[in-house]
Structure 1
Amino acid sequence: MCRIAGLIAEGLNQSQIRASVTAMCNTMQHGGPDDEGIYEDESAGLAFGHRRLSIIDLSKNGHQPMTDPRNRVWITFNGEIYNYRELRANLERSGVTFNTQTDTEVLIQVYCKWGTSGFNKLRGIFAFALYDSARFETYLVRDSSGVKPLYYSSNRQRLAFASEIKAFKAAGIATQPNTVWPVLLLAYGHIPEPQTTLKDVYSLPKGHYLCRNKNGSVKLEKYTCEVIGDQILTINGAEDGIRHLLNASVKRQMLSDAPIGVFLSGGIDSSILSLLANEEGGEQLKTISIFFNEKQYNERQYQNAVLKKIAGNTNTHLVTERDFSKHFPDILAAMDMPTTDGINSWFISKYAHDTGLKAVLSGIGADELFGGYPSFKRIRFIKQLRRFPASLLLKTSRLSIGNFKRLSYLAYDHSAADYLFLRGLYTVSDIALILNIHEAEVSQILFDQNTHSRSGNYDKLHAAWYETNIYMQNQLLRDTDVMSMCHGLEVRVPFLDEDLQAFTSHIDPAIRFEKGRPKQLLIDSFKDILPQAVWNRPKMGFTFPLQQWMKNNPDVVNTGRYKGSFAKKTIEGFKSGTTHWSQAFALYQVQAHV
């Protein structure tokens, strides 16, 4: 797990290119503290940079950028290939020899043997750049779930890429702000892909590769394929498959030459992973947990119910309001882009790093796969609500009653409006007031392109698409990566294993979602090991007491720092308890940057 950067540029001398890539890598040193390297090809005007966090093959053999024995293919790679041993054995049978124990070398040979068709053989979390010097082609590739980030800026004269947005600014490659990001943050609570905070810098779509040829032309291609298979129509078949594939995923993702652990929140997902990892890691396993003095947020009793069943090393940490206030500036500084999430990930990652871990397992993805969010129930109401006249729906934005204002989004005939009705922070009219722009400009930014899937069925499969491709993709995964890597920590996500996701997609929705409580199918699949205290409890999520803690933060609630009467009124509402902390946090960040 690492940080990568690179630049191909016409019109710049090689020293300028090298200096830019060096600056990009230095900015991302936190994500790769163990080693650094740069590869240059002056004839191509190219430089690849790498900052290494050593997880597999801790020796110098893992140094990057890495090449094949003929020096034809060069790569700078961020991530893990979980099936690299199977791929290596396959390649060895065909006569390929290896000089290291790294998955990076396997990745190079996968390309050498199969070309771009080899990308679909990879199982893991990754983002990499590969230069084929014989073909004068450069590839940027991102994993099928978009776990690892990869950003790029491209024109005929230049292609720049990096793992973090701040790298582009540090090198002076892209410095102009993307003027639409405040609108997006106030609506979504994050900045949805492919947009970023910088003009002309975009996120590479998951499951895609970008190819730049010697003429400077660029094409974007999807390399993942639709998985075709029979629908799973029995409960026993579904449970057996889930048990087998999640077990296999955990076993595969426990592979590491560095210390590895599990985030244990006390919820269903992390508890299952901890229990499965215990079977694989035993006494060597470390669990990392957080608890609070505030009783309504404290999950210690559920954590303890799991800890009684595992043999590993337990690490629990009390997080107080004082800790939050002390580290709040550090958390803001760690953000690569503004977001209303990530505070919890910053703390748990800090404690994992302090414990000596370099990699951890996380339960991200289970809620999206098995219907764990309120949106899975709420989405069915959208079809009925859309029958009301748009003019009437728009008027709800003038209401002062919290979430009812989001009804106004359904006045817009757009798939993004459906999602924003379910999860949006501010309405179109509120955003216009905060930013002092016209409502038409806000709606154009939010709804100018049909970038989201819209089936019109408004069923739980539809909700799963939204939660996976918008909320998880742009908020959970991105913020987890940024906050963990700022502490030099890799987060692995067994529920996003490609084989498990493919299997789950073939389960009849009536079995996958419709069995009583949320995630009942997942619970039943592991009821033989999961304590009843964990599964027979209200859903909480990995939540901090931020409503109270931010309300006591003088910087956040200082109305004098906010511009405009609506923004000041919103913060006053937050102090009185009528505004959610996520709305106040988004407003705080927008006002700090605009």
Structure 2
Amino acid sequence: MCGICGIYHQGKIEVSPAQICRMRDLMIERGPDSAGYELLPEIALGHRRLKIIDLSDKANQPMTNSDRSIWTVFNGEIYNYRELRQELLAGGYHFNSNSDTEVLLHGYAEWGTELFRKITGMFAIAIYDSRKQQLILGRDRVGKKPLYYADKSGVIYFASDIKVITSVLPSQPMVSLPALDCYLHHIAVPDQHTIFEGIRKISPGSFHIFSENGQVATTYWEWDYSHKVVNDEATILQTCEELLIQAVMRRTISDVPIGTMLSGGVDSSLITAILCRNATRRIKTFTMGFKNYPMEDILAAREVAKLYDTDHTELILDHNVTENLLELVWQFGEPFADSSAIPTYLISKAARQYITVMLTGDGGDEAFGGYGRTIVPRNAQIFSRIIPPFLHPLIGNILGGLAINPESDSVLGKALYYIDYLKGFPYESFYNTMGFHKYRTSLWNPEYLSRITDHNPLHPFHENFNKVKGLNPIDQVLFTDGMTRLVYDYLVKIDRATMANSIECRSPFLDTALLDYVAKISPKLKFKNHQTKYLLKKIAEKYLPKKLLYTEKRGFGVPVDRWIQNDLSGIFETVVFNRYARQRNYFNYDFIHKIWSDQRTSVKDHKHRLWSLFWLELWQLMFVDKIITRDMPLREVERILK
């Protein structure tokens, strides 16, 4: 795993060694083991390396071929590089290293951009072809590895980290109001945007070719739910298990120690079990929780660790997060309010003392259908068979008149929820309940709201639902989840939190062969007996006790409410209502005062919305106002703002 950067200037500007090295070294945590750069007549390339495969200097980057016509900088791992290497050796290519990077160089020379369809793994790749005078930027299929770029008067700046680009742009870019609007709805910035105007992300499963003729983008992969396999359940289970075992074992290719992030949930427990059953040495596992907070996950992880005799580490934290918060704001680079980033960062920090590569269960929910929102369309269809659709408007009006809460667990509440869901599916039914979807007009200052009147902050969902209109509603939700929340929230979280500690994270459930096959399985089978992740749990029964599999879905328990109301209460108010924020005047602060009061008096739960405002203001103070730094104590921030 590494950090890459470059400036494709085509001779239009002069790039100094100091400039490219400044870009490169802002990503030192992504690659603490070595650093390199290359200045060519058309392009400057920089690289920070975390050594995983071929630890020798021969695998350092930037790397070029024998005639120096092709150059690359690369972040990630290519899991089928050994097979491709053999194919290239048979074709007459010679290798100077045992790295996957050199396979990319010769692979591009042999196959051109078809290389992206042949490689499997997680990656962000920059290839400069001096013969064709073009730069190619490509990203892995599901978007595990980040890649940003900006086009300024024909000069292309690119990097693994957005702040690397802003550090060398001719002028400070403006905050994008549509991106900010999206952030407040999604608690993260979707891939269609970045928080700064003029900076973009390479989309997952695509590559862009930049030349003097402009830019051409090509999509080489997307989730495909349009074709279904016709096999019996036993065959499907066997195939899924075989593909999952292959995916786990592919991700053990490493010249450094490996372990797993064991949350206690089905996904990470199954990955750990498969790894342990196929390992030749004792596996390190890591889990964490908070004091005086539910312990179910920790106890489940402890049981799995005992069952497979792992070398297990438990990290039990108090609630105080002030020590690490500004470092996380720095590492993420864009506003990011998924509070589970904090435990993910801390468990990675603890693991780095022992391992460099960590396997996780990310992607299991998206592939096999683990979220409650995924099964809702089926439940709503069943509801429609019991209560005919022509009665829905009448019943909805009656229940609404009785002030029934559609978010309650009562029978009447569920009935109203399904009526509203079916009426609005998919465009009004699919949104992040942690964000400001229902409070948008109350939150924004009317002046700024008028500037984004034509912007729909739910457009990332709508665009993806439009691609799969004719499919089963469950497949529509699975596709949209994989193209949205997985990419801009869950994978951003795991990448930034682990790489901040120089840990490479690998996710077997996001293996291409596994994803392609599972997408072909009927939704009815995925949710057989109304069970989320039915197939995965059936496979897991061979590896884990049933009592660990058929429990309510959890995640890392994060005490956000305690943070903002106790540990950070004074700092929280000082930051959210600071004078710089009021001068920007984006928001209606009377409304923010109200939801803060409602939170403290337990009138309504706004903790995640308040957390998103808190993180946003810390980000503004660090990257826009530039009056706080990553190494500053949080109490010093409070002093500066008072």
Counterpart of 1:572, as a letter, is S
Matches within 5 A, 1:484-523: 484-523=498-537
The residue type equivalent to 1:223 in the other structure is Y
Deviations 1:249-275 (A, max 9, x none): 100101110111100011100000111
- Cα deviations by residue, 1:513-566 (Å, 9 ceiling, x for unpaired): 234321121010121111223113221122322222332112225575485110
What SS does the aligned partner of 2:72 have?
Answer: strand
Structure 2 counterpart of 1:122, from 109, 119, 122: 119
Q: Compare 191-200 and 286-295 and name the one that shifted more.
A: 286-295
Structure 1 distance, partners of 2:59, 2:121, is 18
Number of the residue aligned with 2:430: 419
After TM superposition, give the deviation of residue 321 of structure 1 in Å: 0.8
**3-state SS of paired residue (1:419):** coil
| Helix, strand or coil at the partner of 2:93 | coil
**Are the aligned partners of 2:207 and 2:217 in contact in 1 as well (CA < 8 Å)?**
yes
Tell me, in whole angstroms, the C-alpha distance in 2 between the residues paired with 1:407 and 1:572. Answer: 31
1:136 aligns with 2:133: yes
Q: Which residue of 1 aligns with 2:40?
A: 41
Distance 1:10 1:459, change over 3 A: same
Would you say the 8 A contact 1:265–1:542 is kept in 2?
yes
Q: Distance in 1 between matches of 2:475 and 2:333?
A: 31
Shift of 1:225: 7.3
Structure 1 segment 239-250 matched on structure 2, within 5 A: 239-250=237-248
| Distance (whole Å) between structure 2 residues aligned to residue 438 and residue 408 of structure 1 | 34
Contact 1:189 1:586 in 2 (8 A): yes
Instruction: Give the letter for the 2:437 counterpart.
Output: T
Deviation at 1:335, TM superposition (A): 2.1
Match of 1:585 among 592, 603, 611: 611
Residue of structure 2 equivalent to 1:292: 290
Q: Give the equivalent residue in structure 2 for 1:281.
A: 279
Q: Is the 8 A contact 1:5 1:161 kept in 2?
A: yes
What RMSD, in angstroms, separates the aligned Cα atoms of the two structures?
3.2
Conserved 8 A contact 1:402-1:579: no
Q: Which amino acid aligns with 2:266?
A: I
- TM, length-normalised to structure 2: 0.84
SS in 1 for 2:498: helix
Instruction: Name the residue aligned to 1:531.
Output: 545
- Report sequence identity in percent: 26
Q: 1:183 to 1:437 in 2, by over 3 A?
A: farther
Matched, 1:311 2:321: no
2:197 equivalent in structure 1: 199
Change (3 A) 1:155 1:591: closer
SS in 1 for 2:528: coil
- The aligned counterpart of 2:55 is 58
SS at match of 2:51: coil
Seen in structure 2, the aligned counterparts of structure 1 residues 416 and 11 have a Cα distance that, compared at 3 Å, is farther
Deviations 1:487-526 (A, max 9, x none): 1111111000000001101112211223432112101012
Cα 1:425–1:461 change in 2 (3 A) is: same
Q: Tell me the SS of whatever aligns to 1:325.
A: coil
CA distance in 1, matches of 2:29, 2:153: 32
Give the partner amino acid of 1:37.
Answer: G
Q: Deviations over 1:426-450 (max 9, x none)?
A: 1365355344446565552226965
| Separation in structure 2 between the aligned mates of residue 270 and residue 539 of structure 1, nearest angstrom | 13
Deviation, structure 1 residue 369: 1.3
Corresponding position of 2:491:
477
The whole-number CA distance in structure 2 between the counterparts of 1:225 and 1:427 is 28
Match of 2:25 in 1: 26
- Asked if 1 retains the 8 angstrom alpha-carbon contact of 2:375 and 2:532, the reply is no
* Aligned amino acid, residue 452 of structure 1: N
Deviation at 1:39, TM superposition (A): 1.4
1:407 & 1:15 partners in 2: Cα distance?
59
Contact 2:194 2:201 in 1 (8 A): yes
CA 114–79 in structure 1, closer or farther in 2 if over 3 Å, else same: same
Aligned-pair CA distance for 1:359? 1.1
Distance in 2 (alpha carbons) for counterparts of 1:232 and 1:541: 34
Structure 2 vs 1, CA of residues 210 and 262 (structure 1 numbering), >3 Å: closer, same or farther?
Answer: same
**Native 8 Å contact 2:9 2:154 kept in 1:** yes
Q: 1:184 to 1:268 in 2, by over 3 A?
A: same
* Residue deviations 1:56-80 (CA, integer Å, cap 9, x gap): 1111011100011121110000000
Cα displacement (A) at 1:22:
2.0
Q: Secondary structure at the match of 1:337?
A: coil
1:248 maps to amino acid: Q
Q: Distance in 2 between matches of 1:418 and 1:280?
A: 43
Q: Which residue of the other structure, out of 250, 253, 265, is the alignment partner of 1:252? A: 250
> TM-score, normalised on structure 1?
0.90
Cα distance change on mapping 1:457 and 1:499 into 2, 3 Å? closer
SS of the aligned residue for 2:483 comes to: helix
1:95-142, CA deviations, whole angstroms, 9 ceiling, x for partnerless residues? 222110000001111111111112101110000100111111110010
Aligned partners of 1:168, 1:218: CA distance in 2, in Å? 19
Letter in 2 for 1:289: T
- In 2, the alpha carbon distance for the partners of 1:110 and 1:23 equals 30
Report the AA paired with residue 576 of structure 1: T
**C-alpha deviations, 1:145-172, integer Å up to 9, x for none?**
1110111112552111110111112223
Is 1:452 aligned with 2:461?
no
Q: Is the 8 A contact 1:243 1:526 kept in 2?
A: no
256-265 or 523-532: bigger deviation: 523-532
Q: CA deviation at 1:347?
A: 1.4
Q: Could you tell me how far 1:243 is from its partner in structure 2?
A: 0.7
Q: Unmatched 5+ residue regions in structure 1?
A: none
Q: Deviations over 1:337-387 (max 9, x none)?
A: 11111222211211111x232110010100111111110133458898998
Work out whether residues 3 and 162 of structure 1, in 8 Å CA contact, stay in contact via their aligned partners in 2: yes
1:362 equivalenced with 2:378 (yes/no):
no
Supply the AA of the counterpart residue of 2:328. I
